[in-house]
């Protein structure tokens, strides 16, 4: 037999493209369109419907960047179309090469209810099936002219990312506005041929199945009259029926398709546009669910449901109905799909608290899976949090984006830092926008690493981010792959059903211990410093606001600000979304985030001050109460308590050093700043131990060029380290504090177009060199780091994460270790030799690196570098330009407990309030290893006190929690403050009014203290 395969395949491609697809709509009639451009921001629907527009024709330009235009579309169904299926085709000028990321529309009926969205690959509106002929058609379209930020030349700086700079040049041309007859048979033929053609391409040429399909396609095209496709499509389909009916092999891979649209809560568009993106996509999906009985759709992010409820209640009502039927699935149980590297312990927990509670209250759904397909790596603290939220599964596929190492499993148990294991699945389809293409399905089956032991994987299916979700074409293709020889078996399924099945089939899954590090997007730990600072500050203010409000409520009866705290938490949680906190959004998003964080700080400070005033007593008495919110005592003030101003410790000196520079001394630590303003010695007096290796300088600012190959705001590529400039030139150095309680030296340097002013401070009684840095940052595509070379020999170091810390190697023996050249810390990193260690603590930064070198004297220098600032130019061309303030500190002689304490201290500064008396802690803990991350009143507003504690040092701990109020009973709860049935009853017992707590390493426990007397 002669081999004509390529000829036959090329025939299919051309006929499908040029003859069959165009025949889906064989007849059309134009619609009349008028347009009204809303001035400025989007207007309410009623205003858009009522506006009087002016005529616009196909081919005319419309749509200034970020504008909203209301189109009124009207026409009459031709009488001759009676009995046929008719659709309106509304092409706003979409770029068909992109599924989303551009203009979009939402179609309304004249009564203002939403019909469905318009997206690049979803441009139809069903008018009737069949029509009577002669019907009047009147539709309104709210069209959003969002610019395409990630264009054909991606990662180029653009002014389009902010309404303030985007200009008003129209971006789109109206492309197609017509009524058309829809030929279902031809459409079905297209689906048949696409499924078979795509499957065929994935099959081995040596196999018979490939040729069976090829010959069937040949026969179908032979019987198709290319001059009258519509009349002959049914006959062509008959030729394909046999190969479509051949059943799948028993060993075929099984794919649970889950309808999905990954909608980034903000990214290349502002938050307000996501509100509308969600409405458009959800309108599409509720309409599709009504048409397709087998289809199942999952939507994550409670925040997006809340937006829909507020802005498009009629669509939300459809969602509620479909949820009741089990076909629209609230997935993931988080407030947003947040970053998981940077959010602190409590914030990570509250993502689940607020997400799950919303789904419980609105739908009665108690999620058991975490759904984070796109998040940039997963911290080792997360498994315990997922479990404490009452969930047990995790889905993500992002680790498939890793640059260097291929993750060895698709289904496995992920073990966190405390030993909690979570059943985890990475969809082998390697995308969260599966389109049911043959190559995707074949890739999932081939790629699946757990073959032979497991057979099931999940495929999130649909276009996200303005693509409109799952399409009817994807559903038609999935139906053909339900039982098809040569293909994986595809079936629509709820995520929970998939997980239950996958877990049941995999009796002894492999285990991965520690974080799930994404070997990409490492610079998201640093980009947009002010967004990160806003998050860190907000998290600590929220903790303080709850602590002091609960203390004041129990002590003085001051009303607890439940609603206000709820609103502020949700605001902070929203901004932890995986393109906001990571700094990868457009300028508009980060400009707004900065303003939001400022407002959050003002509101929380007001709550804190109100509570502290209520607690501090008579402000006219002349006294001053120092409040210490930190979990450890400091300067004579117990943890979570207030004391009338304690006396200072004294003993600080600053003297001129021999050879220039200054010596700072507080009796605990002696610091030498040399003539260049660099820290060349940090001597731990008690231990007679030097921290900085001879010849090295600590707090050394270093600048690298930083121009990654792609994804500017996201990525720093390893080669950035090849070039470095040490900032050793000094403008001036001045002693700025010289008293018994504190000494400080200020150092000013200029470099490039920028200036850095640093104040190095020793405070009496504290073994810590504090560094306050102010940078006026005017560099482009540069990376600024602060280096601390340390005389420490160790092969690992600890970095704080949620409810504990994770150890990472200081070497690069393997490709896995080498790939982690930039990593995340929360408040501290800690390095130690037995008996002596050093902590570097940070007030707002997250990125860092640790490297090692061996010196000529044989000793090891381990260098910690904090990542302070970057200056990528995409998607925000002016990222991080301007004035920044950072605080960080070096604590010599610190053990891990000291590192924990210093980390809290720098993030929770004391507050001073006029008053007349001491304020006792609401709860006391007698073991510093046990840290309370939340002291609050119960969310159910019943007045119980909720305390969440964890073991912070990685060991076993017992502590007695002594409440300063009468406790009737104590229960161990989940994060949602629900008692855990049959939980670890040993963990907490109430004995003589105190709670005795026993914790495993890094174990976190939520306690609910039932008060005897209610306020």
- Percent helix, strand, coil in the chain (nearest 5)? 30, 30, 40
Which is nearer to Zn ion, 374 or 690 (by Cβ)? 374
Nearer to Zn ion, 236 or 336 (CB): 336
String of contacts with Zn ion for each residue 205-244, x by CB under 5 A: ----------------------------------------
Shortest reach from residue 262's CB to Zn ion, in Å: 6
- Dist. CA 812–CA 795, nearest whole Å: 10
CB of residue 268 to Zn ion, shortest distance in Å: 11
Between vectors from CA 98 to CA 96 and to CA 100, what angle results, nearest 5°? 110
CA distance 66 to 759: 44
Q: Which residue is nearest to Zn ion (CB)?
A: 374
Binding range to Zn ion, per CB under 5 A, among 256-264, 305-313, 824-832, 945-953: 256-264
Q: In this chain, which stretch among 57-65, 374-382, 544-552, 943-951 interacts with Zn ion, using CB under 5 A?
A: 374-382
Three-state SS annotation for 835-901: CEEEEEEECCCCEEEEEEEECCCCCEEEEEEEEEECCCCCCCCCCCCEEEEEEEEEEECCCHHHHHH
Question: Least distance in Å: CB of 398 to Zn ion?
Answer: 9
- Minimum CB separation from Zn ion for residue 432, in Å? 8
CA-to-CA dists, residue 433 to 259, 430, 950, angstroms: 9, 9, 38
DSSP H or E segment with residue 311: helix 302-311
Q: Which of residues 107-136 bind Zn ion (CB under 5 A)?
A: none
Of 256, 701, 668, residue with least CA distance to 496: 256
Output the smallest distance, CB 372 to Zn ion, in A: 9
Kindly indicate which of the ranges 102-110, 262-270, 673-681, 798-806 contains the residues binding Zn ion, using the contact rule CB under 5 A: 262-270
Q: How far is the CB of 577 from Zn ion (least distance, A)?
A: 8
Nearer Cβ to Zn ion, position 300 or 447? 300
Would you say 460 or 486 has its CB closer to Zn ion?
A: 460
973 and 1006 in contact (C-beta within 8 Å)? yes
CB of 282 to Zn ion, least distance (A): 17
Dist. CA 125–CA 24, nearest whole Å: 14
H or E element that contains 616: helix 587-616
Q: Which is nearer to Zn ion, 301 or 345 (CB)?
A: 301
Choice between 142 and 264, CB closer to Zn ion:
264
Size of interface with Zn ion, in residues (CB under 5 A) = 2
Contact 744, 763 (CB under 8 A): no
Of 367-375, 389-397, 623-631, 880-888, the window that binds Zn ion (rule: CB under 5 A) is: 367-375
Q: Which is nearer to Zn ion, 98 or 780 (CB)?
A: 98
Nearer residue to Zn ion within complex by CB, 374 or 772: 374
CB 176 within 8 A of CB 22: no
* Residue tagged 């089939």 (tokens): 505
CB neighbour list of residue 910: distance below 8 Å, 6 or more residues apart: 626, 627, 628, 634, 635, 637
- What is the distance between the alpha carbons of residues 382 and 415, in angstroms, rounded to a whole number? 9
Q: Which stretch binds Zn ion (CB under 5 A): 261-269, 292-300, 491-499, 532-540?
A: 261-269
- Identity of the residue, 397 or 842, whose beta carbon is nearer to Zn ion in the bound complex: 397
Q: Contact region for Zn ion (CB under 5 A) — 146-154, 366-374, 563-571, 589-597?
A: 366-374
698: DSSP letter? B
**Whole-angstrom Cα distance, residue 310 to residue 278?**
12
**Closest distance to Zn ion from the beta carbon of 339 (Å):** 10
Maximal CA-CA distance, the chain: 105
Element (H, E) at 613: helix 587-616
- Chain positions 499 to 528 lying near Zn ion, rule: CB under 5 A, are none
Looking at beta carbons only, is 33 or 382 nearer to Zn ion? 382
Dihedral sign computed on CA atoms, order 241, 246, 247, 253: negative
CB of 274 to Zn ion, least distance (A): 11
Binding range to Zn ion, per CB under 5 A, among 10-18, 264-272, 580-588, 878-886? 264-272
**Toward Zn ion, which CB reaches closer, 374 or 594?**
374
Question: Min. distance of Cβ 374 from Zn ion in angstroms?
Answer: 3
- In the region spanning residues 34 to 73, those forming contacts with Zn ion, defined by CB under 5 A, are none
Q: Which of 192, 264, 849, 924 binds Zn ion (CB under 5 A)?
A: 264
DSSP 898-951: HHHHHHHHHHS--EEEEESS-B--SEEES-TTEEEEEEEE-TTSS--EEEEEEE
Q: Which of residues 164-203 bind Zn ion (CB under 5 A)?
A: none
Positions 944 through 1003 that interact with Zn ion (CB under 5 A): none
Beta carbon of residue 459, minimum distance to Zn ion (angstroms, whole number): 17
Q: Could you tell me the CA-to-CA distances from 614 to 74, 555, 611, 970 in Å, in that order? A: 64, 9, 5, 27
Evaluate whether 130 touches 85 at the Cβ level (below 8 Å). yes
Which of 343, 352, 336 lies closest to 387 in space, CA to CA?
352
Alpha carbons 26 and 133: distance in angstroms, whole number: 16
Neighbours of 302 (CB within 10 A): 27
Q: Which helix (H) or strand (E) holds 356?
A: helix 345-363
How many Å apart are CA 1011 and CA 994, to the nearest integer? 13
Residue closer to Zn ion (CB basis): 158 or 431: 431
Quote the least distance from Cβ 300 to Zn ion, whole Å. Answer: 11
**Residue numbers 540-579 binding Zn ion by CB under 5 A:** none
Distances (CA, A) of 530 to 546, 716, 879, 905: 24, 19, 10, 21
Q: Which of 374, 564, 772, 918 binds Zn ion (CB under 5 A)?
A: 374
Segment contacting Zn ion by CB under 5 A, of 20-28, 327-335, 370-378, 859-867: 370-378
Q: Which is nearer to Zn ion, 274 or 411 (CB)?
A: 274
* Cβ 820 to Zn ion shortest distance, Å: 22
Q: Minimum distance between the CB of residue 269 and Zn ion, rounded to whole angstroms?
A: 12
Q: What is the DSSP letter of 720?
A: G
Task: Give the up-direction half-sphere exposure of residue 251: CA atoms within 13 A in the CB hemisphere.
Answer: 4
CB nearer to Zn ion: give 25 or 432.
432
Residue 849 touching Zn ion (CB under 5 A): no
CB of 578 to Zn ion, least distance (A): 6
The first and second tokens of residue 216, run together, are 């069937």
Q: How far is the CB of 664 from Zn ion (least distance, A)?
A: 47
Q: Which is nearer to Zn ion, 264 or 977 (CB)?
A: 264
For Zn ion, the closer of residues 218 and 374 by Cβ is 374
Distance of CA 967 to the CA centre of its chain: 39
**Can you list the alpha helix ranges (DSSP code H) found in 364-437?**
382-388
> Closest by alpha carbon to 1001, among 516, 419, 421, 513?
419
Listed ranges 61-69, 126-134, 257-265, 829-837: which one lies at the site for Zn ion (CB under 5 A) = 257-265
Q: Give residues in contact with Zn ion (CB under 5 A).
A: 264, 374
């Amino acid at each position: 037999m002669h081999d004509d395969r390529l000829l036959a395949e090329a025939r299919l491609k051309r006929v499908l493209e040029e003859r069959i697809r165009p025949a889906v709509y064989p007849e059309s009639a134009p619609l009349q369109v008028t347009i009204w451009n809303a001035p400025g921001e989007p207007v309410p629907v009623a205003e858009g419907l009522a506006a009087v527009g002016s005529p616009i024709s196909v081919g005319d330009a419309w749509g200034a960047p970020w504008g909203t235009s209301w189109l009124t579309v009207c026409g009459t169904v031709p009488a001759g179309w009676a009995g046929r299926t008719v659709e309106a085709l509304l092409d706003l000028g979409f770029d068909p090469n992109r599924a989303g990321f551009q203009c979009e529309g939402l179609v309304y009926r004249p009564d203002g209810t939403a019909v469905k969205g318009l997206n690049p690959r979803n441009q139809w509106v069903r008018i009737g099936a069949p029509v009577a002929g002669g019907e009047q058609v009147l539709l309104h379209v709210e069209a959003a002219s969002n610019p395409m930020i990630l264009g054909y030349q991606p990662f180029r700086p653009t002014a389009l990312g902010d309404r303030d700079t985007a200009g008003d040049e129209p971006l789109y041309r109206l492309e197609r506005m017509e009524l058309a007859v829809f030929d279902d048979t031809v459409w079905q033929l297209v689906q048949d041929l696409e499924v078979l053609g795509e499957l065929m391409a994935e099959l081995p040429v040596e196999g018979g199945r490939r040729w069976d399909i090829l010959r069937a396609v040949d026969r179908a095209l032979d019987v198709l009259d290319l001059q009258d496709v519509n009349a002959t499509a049914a006959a062509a389909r008959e030729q394909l029926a046999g190969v479509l009916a051949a059943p799948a092999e028993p060993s075929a891979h099984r794919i649970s398709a889950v309808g999905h649209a990954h909608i980034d809560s903000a990214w290349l568009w502002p938050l307000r546009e996501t509100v509308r993106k969600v409405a458009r996509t959800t309108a599409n999906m509720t309409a599709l669910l009504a048409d397709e009985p087998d289809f199942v759709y999952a939507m994550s992010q409670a925040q997006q449901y809340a937006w829909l409820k507020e802005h498009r209640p009629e669509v939300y009502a459809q969602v509620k109905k479909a949820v009741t039927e089990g076909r629209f699935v609230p997935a993931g149980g988080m407030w947003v799909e947040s970053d998981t590297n940077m959010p602190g312990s409590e914030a990570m927990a509250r993502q689940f608290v607020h997400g799950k509670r919303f789904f419980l209250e609105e739908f009665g759904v108690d999620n058991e899976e975490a759904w984070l397909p796109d998040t940039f790596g997963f911290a080792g603290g997360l498994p315990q949090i997922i479990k404490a939220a009452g969930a047990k599964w995790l889905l993500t596929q992002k680790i498939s984006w890793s640059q260097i190492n291929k993750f060895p499993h698709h289904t496995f148990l992920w073990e966190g830092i405390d030993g909690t294991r979570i059943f985890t699945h990475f969809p082998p389809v390697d995308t969260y926008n599966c389109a049911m293409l043959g190559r995707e399905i074949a890739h999932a089956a081939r790629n699946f690493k757990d073959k032979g032991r497991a057979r099931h994987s999940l495929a999130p299916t649909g276009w996200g981010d303005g693509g409109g979700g799952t399409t009817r074409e994807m559903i038609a293709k999935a139906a053909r792959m339900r039982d098809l020889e040569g293909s994986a078996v595809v079936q629509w399924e709820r995520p929970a059903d998939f997980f239950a099945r996958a877990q049941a089939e995999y009796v002894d899954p492999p285990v991965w211990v520690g974080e799930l590090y994404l070997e990409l997007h490492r610079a998201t730990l640093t980009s947009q410093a002010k967004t990160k600072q806003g998050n860190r500050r907000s998290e600590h203010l929220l903790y303080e606001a709850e602590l002091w409000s609960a203390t004041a409520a129990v002590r003085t009866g001051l009303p607890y600000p439940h609603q206000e705290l709820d609103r502020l938490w949700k605001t902070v949680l929203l901004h932890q979304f995986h393109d906001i906190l990571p700094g990868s959004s457009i300028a508009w998003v980060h400009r707004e985030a900065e303003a939001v964080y400022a407002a959050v700080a003002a509101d929380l400070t007001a709550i804190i001050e109100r509570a502290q005033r209520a607690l501090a007593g008579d402000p006219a008495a002349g006294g001053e109460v120092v409040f210490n919110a930190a979990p450890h005592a400091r300067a004579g003030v117990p943890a979570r308590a207030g004391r009338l101003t304690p006396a200072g410790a004294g003993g600080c000196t600053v003297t001129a050093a021999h050879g220039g520079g200054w010596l700072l001394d507080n009796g605990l630590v002696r610091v030498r700043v040399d003539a260049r303003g660099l820290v060349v010695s940090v001597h731990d007096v008690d231990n007679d131990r030097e921290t900085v290796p001879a010849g090295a300088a600590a707090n050394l600012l270093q600048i690298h060029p930083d121009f990654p190959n792609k994804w500017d705001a996201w990525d720093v590529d390893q080669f950035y380290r090849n070039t470095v400039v040490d900032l050793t030139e000094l403008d001036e150095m001045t002693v700025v504090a010289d008293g018994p309680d504190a000494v400080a030296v200020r150092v000013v340097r200029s470099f490039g177009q920028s200036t850095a002013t640093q104040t190095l401070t020793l405070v009496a009684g504290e073994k810590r060199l504090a560094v306050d840095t102010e940078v006026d940052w005017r560099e482009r595509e540069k990376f600024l780091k602060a280096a601390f070379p340390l005389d420490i020999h160790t092969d690992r170091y600890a970095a704080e994460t949620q409810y504990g810390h994770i150890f990472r190697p200081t070497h690069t023996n393997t490709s896995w270790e080498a790939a982690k050249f930039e990593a995340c810390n929360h408040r501290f990193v800690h390095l130690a030799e037995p008996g002596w260690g050093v902590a570097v603590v940070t007030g707002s930064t997250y990125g860092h690196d640790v490297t090692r070198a061996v010196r000529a004297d044989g000793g090891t220098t381990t260098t910690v570098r904090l990542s302070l600032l970057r200056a990528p130019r995409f998607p925000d061309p002016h990222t991080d330009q301007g004035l920044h303030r950072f605080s960080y500190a070096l604590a010599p002689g610190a053990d891990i407990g000291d590192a924990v304490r210093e980390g809290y201290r720098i993030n929770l500064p004391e507050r001073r309030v006029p008053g007349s008396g001491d304020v006792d802690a609401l709860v006391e803990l007698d073991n510093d290893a046990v840290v309370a991350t939340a002291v609050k009143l119960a969310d159910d507003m019943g007045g119980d006190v909720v305390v969440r504690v964890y073991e912070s040092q990685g060991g076993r701990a017992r502590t007695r929690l002594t409440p300063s109020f009468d406790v009737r009973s104590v229960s161990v709860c989940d994060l949602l403050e629900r008692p855990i049935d049959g939980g670890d009853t040993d963990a907490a017992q109430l004995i003589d009014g105190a709670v005795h707590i026993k914790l495993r390493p890094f174990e976190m426990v939520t306690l609910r203290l039932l008060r005897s007397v209610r306020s």
